[in-house]
Structure formats: C-alpha cells, structure tokens
Amino acid sequence: MTPLRLMASMGLAVLLALGSLAVHAGLEPLEFDDQAQQARYQSLLRELRCTVCQNESLAESKAELARDMRLRIHRMMREGASDAEIKDFLVSRYGDFVLYRPPFQRNTWILWVGPGAILLAGAIAFALLLRRRARALPADLPGIEDDR
C-alpha cells in the first residue's frame, strides 16, 4: 500500500469514527444566543425524564421522542419561554412522570412521605424488639437472680 493510499484510508477511518461519535452522542447540534442559554438548556434536559427510556434524562436518551422533546424545548427557549413554562407544557402533555422531581401534591404524596414512613416504622419495630429482648433476657438465663 502506498503512503498516499495509507493516509487516505486513515483519514477516512478518522472521519467515520468522528461521525459515529456524533451519532452516538444523540444530541443534535443546536444554536444558542450565549453560553448562559446553553447551560440553561442542558440543566433542563437533566431535570426532565425521557418517557420512552424512563430511567434516562432527556440529555442521555437516544430515543426519537427524546430528540423531539429536546427540539421542542430548544424552540420554546428561543421563543422566550421560561423554565416553568417549558416544564408546564411538558407536564400537560406527558404528566408528572416527565419530571425527575415531581411536585408534592395529592397524587404524589406517597413518593415524598413513603420512604420516611417506612424508615420510621422500621426504627420503631427495631426499638420494640430490642426492648422486648432486654426484658426477657434475665428470666431466660439460669443462675441469675432478679434483685427486684
């Protein structure tokens, strides 16, 4: 293989690798007015869940719906929508599930209170178990007299 042909092959391999990285990243190239707007966009994507992938944020997801949601968020930002307006739009369309931190309301209270209630119930049960064992211990051991 001639040096020119080898360099052309290597160049083509590098271009293909870079192209596959761009496709693998899943994020489409978007234009922003400034760095602050881009940072705001990235922050929003991390706060919102892909409704297809469920355990991936919009920033991570490669699903077609996530791509559409990212484009919609970008367009709304360019039109001057606030973060709250963008989230409200997505919640009205996809429900509270789209938010990684759903609001405290009647249908989500168990998400907020449940883990603490389970932990408290476990701590109470453990304390009662220890108390019961401590009371039963002297009577179970032979040769130990009760001074009461």
Q: Is 16 exposed, middle or buried (0-12, 13-18, 19+ CB in 10 A)?
A: exposed
Rg of the chain on CA atoms, in Å: 29
Compute, in degrees rounded to 10, the torsion defined by CA atoms 34, 38, 44, 49. 160
Give the percent of the chain with pLDDT over 70. Answer: 77
Tell me if 30 sits within 8 A of 74, measured CB to CB. yes
Give the residue ranges of DSSP H helices in the chain.
Answer: 3-25, 35-47, 64-78, 83-94, 109-140
Say whether pTM exceeds 0.85. Answer: no
| 41 CA to centre of own chain | 16
Q: pLDDT of 47-75, one tens digit each? A: 999 988 878 999 999 999 999 999 999 99
Does residue 22 carry a pLDDT above 60? no
Q: Is 77 exposed, middle or buried (0-12, 13-18, 19+ CB in 10 A)?
A: buried
For range 87-92, the mean pLDDT:
93
Which are the contacts of 95, defined by CB distance < 8 A and separation ≥ 6? none
Tell me if 61 sits within 8 A of 52, measured CB to CB. yes
Judged by DSSP in three states, 82 sits in: coil
For range 97-108, the mean pLDDT:
78
Q: What angle do CA 74, 23, 36 make, to 5 degrees?
A: 30
Distance CA 69, CA 67 (A): 5
Q: What is the overall mean pLDDT for the chain?
A: 81
